[in-house]
Structure 1
């Protein structure tokens, strides 16, 4: 599938528009599993024939856009992004198109290795740079040599391929984490993606994802996050929840009521409520997992915190 639309920040003022209720259209894209703590809706982008624009209501503003090239590693803030069926894209950066795996081919995330959140990723031309404190930077080509092994990997029980990024990447990640031998793999366009419909049947049957948990987009509301922080002794950041799109100028938990929204020319539909996992208890600044907050507070209070798109 091609792109559903593009997102661009102009002074952090890209409006989010709510579409009025209407008969369910045919949806081609799919939504994401919610952020770290609470139930939220997943959203799919729609691509169809041009039609007369319905009356819209502005419900918020896009404040930030984030791409997470390597699953569980630091996000990259971007000012513009293309909204594709498999997540945000900005230049060579694709959201969760790289994955750390163990010797058995199983995904490794911050749930098992919390210090993954301390690895930064930058892109310059056709190369990625991996950085971490007290560790020499590693420069990697965006496209691994075709002679590199293609691994059969598993992400949440579903098989998917990934091309090995080479021995230097494997040694760098293994040396930084200092626990077990790991490798880095990259999803390439010709490879067969995972189908989130096999995870939850509410997702579109033709949905496609690479290494995200279940969907290519995740939205976070600043207002909902601020409300959560009033209940926490230690405040948490948006990066705790790893959103792709951060919204401002909307009410607390207003996203709970949005079934269809328009951002730029990307039309998104919420398809499920979702709850969050232990990864949200990993401090993105220290890589330490508490296994408690903010999950314990969310269980007692906030009905929704993020919206999966």
Structure 2
């Protein structure tokens, strides 16, 4: 039987994540997931572990639906309130999308800038300012916050286990930053799924996830693997003309609550 074996939320794009037992699904994916983003103060362009590996060392916790907590070893933590949706707007860019997003204020900017050793700002995306998902894969009206392109990412536990066996050492699921982990299927079975249901929520698999260099970084320190793993091994058997793929992007069709242990029902 297929079941939901893990839930992850990443409140701030490219910062540390939270492992959850229960999570709500709203119009942008998991509630609170990737609703915040660190941007270069001058250009407004998004920053990730690709450029700033130390971002992995910052913990981000979504406390109560209105407050974000940032933490890092050896420093006082910082709480940040959700800014008003239409005030202190800053022009930001995430991949090819440009939008106006409310700035979280000088205290958050100073805290992050000091640790990352570069001038940056923290911004939030309210639902009213969310991005349209690429209509080559989605319907008009499907939205996403600050995730790369899609609201949710699913990975099969057996797929990670198979990759780890090929690499020859254990691999943490956090390297791949999924939202949903499913066990009970064969390796890479998720490649062929269409629609699925978990609890009362239906999901549509829309596109394989093309992987960047982040899986080669230690998910806690941000240090890059000298041997290029696990991407080096993935590229030997999961590459096509457009990239190296691992995991599947989903779009939710409805809202509800997910809980670890729930059955996963394949609808087609």
- Normalising by structure 2, report the TM-score: 0.84
Q: Partner residue of 1:7? A: none
Alignment of 1:1-309 (within 5 A): 58=1, 60-89=2-31, 94-102=32-40, 103-125=42-64, 126-141=66-81, 143-144=82-83, 149-178=88-117, 180-191=118-129, 193-197=130-134, 201-290=136-225, 292-302=228-238, 305-309=246-250
- Shift of residue 225 of structure 1? 0.2
In 1, Cα distance between equivalents of 2:154 and 2:13: 17
Q: In the TM superposition, what whole-angstrom CA distance separates every residue of 1:123-156 from its partner, at most 9, and x where no partner exists?
A: 4344322101122211212x22579521011110
Q: Partner residue of 2:266? A: none
- Shift of residue 85 of structure 1? 2.8
Are the aligned partners of 1:221 and 1:306 in contact in 2 as well (CA < 8 Å)? yes
Counterpart secondary structure, 1:300 = coil
Counterpart secondary structure, 2:13 = coil
Q: 4+ residue runs of structure 1 moved beyond 4 angstroms?
A: 145-148
Change in 2 beyond 3 A, CA 1:81/1:281: same
In 2, Cα distance between equivalents of 1:162 and 1:234: 41
Are the aligned partners of 1:202 and 1:272 in contact in 2 as well (CA < 8 Å)? yes
Structure 2 unaligned segments of length 5 or more: list them: 240-244, 251-268
Larger RCO (CA within 8 A; separation ≥ 6): 1
Counterpart secondary structure, 1:65 = strand
Structure 1 unaligned segments of length 5 or more: list them: 1-57
Counterpart secondary structure, 2:203 = strand
Change in 2 beyond 3 A, CA 1:135/1:257: same
Change in 2 beyond 3 A, CA 1:124/1:82: closer
- Shift of residue 305 of structure 1? 3.5
In 2, Cα distance between equivalents of 1:233 and 1:86: 37
Q: CA RMSD in A?
A: 1.9
- Normalising by structure 1, report the TM-score: 0.73
Are the aligned partners of 1:148 and 1:165 in contact in 2 as well (CA < 8 Å)? no
